[in-house]
Amino acid sequence: MDLDDQFRRYFGTDDLSTIAPSALEAGIERMRVDFGMEEDRNRRFALWSLLYLFNASPDLDIAFEDEDDREAARDFMDMMAKAQDAG
């Protein structure tokens, strides 16, 4: 899953600075719908991660049935927090 491809898929561009707020909201909503319908574990995690970056991810207990997936999501959240603190 290529990040730029996902940006183009959901927002019509890979340059997020050019997206109007309404288009951003619409893209996030499409991502939420796809996340809810996705059955592939890896793709589901990738979509959740992208939603997390937009502060739009569902709670872990709702998003992931498997504890290993919830733990991986916690690790991702910790990693993003550390990156933000370093920047």
Mean pLDDT of the chain: 94
| Residues 49-60, mean pLDDT to the nearest whole number | 96
In the three-class reduction of DSSP (H, G, I as helix; E, B as strand; rest coil), residue 78 is classed as helix
Please work out, in degrees rounded to the nearest 5, the angle formed at the alpha carbon of residue 46 by the alpha carbons of 64 and 61.
15
Rg value, the chain, Cα? 13
Domain spans of the chain, in order of start: 3-86
**What is the mean predicted confidence (pLDDT) over 56-68?**
96
Q: Which pLDDT does position 2 carry in this prediction?
A: 85
Whether the full predicted model's pTM is greater than 0.75, yes or no, is yes
Mean pLDDT of 35-44: 95
Contact, 76 vs 49, CB < 8 A?
yes
Hey, what are 55's tokens?
A: 């502060």
Decide: helix, strand or coil at residue 43.
helix
**What pLDDT is attached to residue 86?**
86
In the three-class reduction of DSSP (H, G, I as helix; E, B as strand; rest coil), residue 14 is classed as coil
